[in-house]
Structure 1
Amino acid sequence: MTDKKPNILLVYTGGTIGMVKDFKTGTLKAFNFNNLLKQIPELHLLACDINTISLEEPIDSSNINPDYWVKIAEIIADHYDDYDGFVILHGSDTMSYTASALSFMLENLKKPVVFTGAQLPIGDLRTDAKENLITSIQVASLQEHGKPVIQEVCLYFEYKLYRGNRTTKVNAENFQAFRSYNYPELAESGVHLKVNHKYLLRRKSEAPFKLNKSLDTNIALIKLYPGISEAVISSILNTANLKAVIIETFGSGNSTTASWFINLLSNAIKKGIHIINVTQCLGGSVIMGQYETSSQLKKIGVISGKDITTEAALGKLMHLLGQDVSDNQFKTKFETSLCGELS
């Protein structure tokens, strides 16, 4: 056993959690994370050493894109051997997208990467930022027998720790802004921090940590609705350089059975475009063939997203396309859980 304190790297990318109010002007300005321990003395009570790093230009999460995912992943990879855990401060609007993407980019991860943010700035009287930040650092510091308890990309918000690639932002005003409908929370913070060990990701492979930076964004997302037209679907499927499409279908993976719709998808698949079936429902799974309205999709070769979130489906799709997975293996790869994103 060792008495060495865990080293935690706090990475600020932008977002509400990193803002403080200038009480003279009423405007929000970026928080100086070099003075973090002075501003939040409670952090001294944590049994870990904390260092901080910020993106050169912090970004509002609404402007996040795969280039920033690569920057965040590179920071983790560059410091992977020097720290026992990482806490990523990120705007909440697209946090689930970034957490999902990094779960695929950080291959064979054996350390915690905990995303968190806030609905109110860190200097606000009623802020949720302090609790989210403090507990996220505590979660990243958890160790048993000299090894991190958490060994995956997570998201902590309002007393709950979730698997990152299982989350969706569901509320723009409540402190409980995120939910994980198809997978239980990994931990819950109350008087005690209760970890649900049986739900934690444990990789069987002993392969070394690897950073995957190649992401292909030649994809499209279509949300089906009653009355969607042939012209709309056709225009999307004929987008230049399109390689894959995620279709958000109804219920357990159902869609219109109109011949024009099935024919458009079938022709796209024959041209080598991968079609992924993801349910619009927040909870539940795609089960193609359960109803007649999805049996034709299964027959023409549409790929089942099962119970994956749209956010995770996008990240996984960009990752697999970036890895140049062959057409013969693509369906199998997508329908296989790589890092806990599928049940």
Structure 2
Amino acid sequence: MRICIITTGGTIGSTGHPLSPMPAARFAQAVHDLLGGALAAALPGDRLHVDDGLRFSDDGPGTLDSTDLRPSDWCRIAGRVLDLYDDHDAFVILHGTDTMDYTGAALPLLLNVFDDMGIARAALSKPVILTGAQLPLFRDTDGGLVLNAGSDALANLTGALEAARLRLPEVAVFFDGRLLRGARALKVSTTRFAGFDSPHLGPLATRGIGIHPGAVPPLPGPAAPDRALDAAPARALVRAQLEAVARVIDDQRVAQIAAVPSDHRASDPLMARMVRDALAAGATGLLLEGFGPGNIPAGDGAMASALTQAQVPVMIASRVIGGQVGAFDYAAGAWIGATGAVAAGDMTPVAALAKLMILTAMAPHHGWDRATLSALLARSLAGECAAGDRLTGALWPGQALQAADGPLRLENDHDHGPRLTDGARLLWQAPGPGLLRMQGDRLALIAHDGAVLWSSAPAPGAVAVLTAHPPALRLIDPAGRARPVTALAG
């Protein structure tokens, strides 16, 4: 297996007092000289290449502390992966921990191309694993560089390299023995070696005596060979999208505003004033961190007025580490849905910020209007949130799907079975209770005794997606063709 190690800087590749990143070429030489034999023995049969071609500036070492990474640097990292894609089977990116979770959320969006329904037209087909360390890999001494024996860096580096052998086709973060989905990772500690966690999704794999796959299934990867980045046309789609985003992403000014306890009865509540000030200063998007499930003080209507008048995309996330924003069921937040703000679901605020910034930057390239952009912000594109608008397994009694582009809802009632509703209007009722799932090449309603109560026309390899425009549950096949499930169409 051919594995490419790309260094961007960060603590893992830093030396000196105060710590600063080594030039990539010096780091690559140190890995060769001090670790080459050990890595070759630990990874028999693998060929490792430590790349030193990524530079963030022409001055100094060319690498950066991740504190200084800009959104356009996400594009540089993605571009380097594309440059080297044909020559390697996996990529391990060494990155500073301060913003590793932002890069982990950004790269999946930059290395895939999605259509208006959130289906990948060009898809990452090889592992891209970010790792770093709380302490440097090497230490400067009077006799030159030596391995920093007390660091977590070597374990993280070798763990990421071992995890690459799983060939999971997605962006991940490896830290302290766990492989986490990149868009779900969150930095949680500056002092413990367990510096990252994934509050809503278990690990993709864990490391002990060997690498052990986790209970969470990996992303499926390309639906067909012509959609994989191995294919030149698919890679060209990603390259064109990346170039368009890189030109404008540093101009994106997403204001992240956290709800705080304040006097919402004041004539001009603090949070509403902060929103208006951000918009007046040229914010291109708003990310609001609400309490609990996304609740925000209404401010006697001031917040609703400010958000309704906003001409930019607005997302609502939860400030709670394990928080989730859904249908705004509480009276304290029930008014939010009418403003047009997008609920972030179980996305971390880090992932929501990266997604809002990147999708807004790429919208002109794809010709997405505001409604399409809002729907894509709500949909799970690369596993950054739960896929609430599509069947990923089975729809069991008590579960529901919610369209990303409107109020359409498919709920599996305990007593009556699945029903499709548009607000208070019933569009379709199943012939009886059961679970809804893909069975072979068609969607089927299965009774408790295994009997098939209803099934759709065949659609091999399709994904079932609920859409409000038009109101239907649609089967989308690997070629991107969509057909409504007739019985469930509105």
Q: Is residue 87 from structure 1 mapped to residue 92 from structure 2 by the alignment?
A: yes
Q: Is residue 11 from structure 1 mapped to residue 14 from structure 2 by the alignment?
A: no
Contact preservation (8 Å) 1:253, 1:288: no
- 1:204 CA drift (Å): 5.5
Match of 1:313 in 2: 352
Contact preservation (8 Å) 1:262, 1:296: yes
Structure 1 residue ranges, 4+ long, deviating more than 3 angstroms after superposition:
25-29
Q: Is residue 38 from structure 1 mapped to residue 33 from structure 2 by the alignment?
A: yes
Contact preservation (8 Å) 2:317, 2:348: yes
Match of 2:336 in 1: 297
Match of 2:214 in 1: 196
- 1:20 CA drift (Å): 4.0
2:255 and 2:15 mapped to 1: Cα distance?
A: 37
- 1:26 CA drift (Å): 8.8
Match of 1:128 in 2: 152
Partner AA of 1:336 in structure 2? R
Partner AA of 1:265 in structure 2? L
Q: Which has the higher contact order (CA 8 A, sep 6+)?
A: 1
The superposition leaves residues 76-95 of structure 1 with CA deviations (integer Å, 9 ceiling, x where unpaired) of 00111110000000000000
2:83 and 2:21 mapped to 1: Cα distance?
A: 28
Radius of gyration: which is bigger? 2
1:263 and 1:281 mapped to 2: Cα distance?
A: 25
2:340 and 2:18 mapped to 1: Cα distance?
A: 56
Structure 2: segments with no counterpart, 5+ residues: 56-61, 113-122, 139-147, 230-237, 263-268, 387-490
Contact preservation (8 Å) 1:37, 1:44: no
2:21 and 2:101 mapped to 1: Cα distance?
A: 24
Q: Is residue 111 from structure 1 mapped to residue 106 from structure 2 by the alignment?
A: no
1:245 and 1:105 mapped to 2: Cα distance?
A: 21
Partner AA of 1:312 in structure 2? A
Match runs of 1:1-343 below 5 Å = 6-20=1-15, 30=22, 32-40=27-35, 41-45=37-41, 46-47=43-44, 48-54=46-52, 55-56=54-55, 57-107=62-112, 108-123=123-138, 124-142=148-166, 148=167, 150-196=168-214, 198-203=216-221, 205-206=223-224, 207-209=227-229, 210-211=238-239, 212-213=241-242, 214=245, 216=249, 217-227=252-262, 229=270, 230-240=272-282, 242-258=283-299, 259-268=301-310, 272-324=311-363, 325-343=368-386
Q: 1:13 to 1:287 in 2, by over 3 A?
A: same
Contact preservation (8 Å) 1:248, 1:279: yes
Give the RMSD, CA atoms, in angstroms. Answer: 1.8
Give the SS at the match of 2:255: strand
Structure 1: segments with no counterpart, 5+ residues: 1-5, 143-147
Partner AA of 2:260 in structure 1? Y
1:193 and 1:33 mapped to 2: Cα distance?
A: 25
2:334 and 2:18 mapped to 1: Cα distance?
A: 57
Task: Determine what percentage of the aligned residue pairs are the same residue.
Answer: 30
Q: Give the alignment's TM-score, normalised by structure 2.
A: 0.64
Contact preservation (8 Å) 1:162, 1:180: yes
1:180 and 1:287 mapped to 2: Cα distance?
A: 19
- 1:27 CA drift (Å): 6.5
Q: Give the alignment's TM-score, normalised by structure 1.
A: 0.90
2:27 and 2:178 mapped to 1: Cα distance?
A: 27
More strand by share: 2
Contact preservation (8 Å) 2:129, 2:174: yes
Partner AA of 2:94 in structure 1? L
1:85 and 1:320 mapped to 2: Cα distance?
A: 26
User: How many residues are aligned here?
Assistant: 325
Give the SS at the match of 2:67: helix
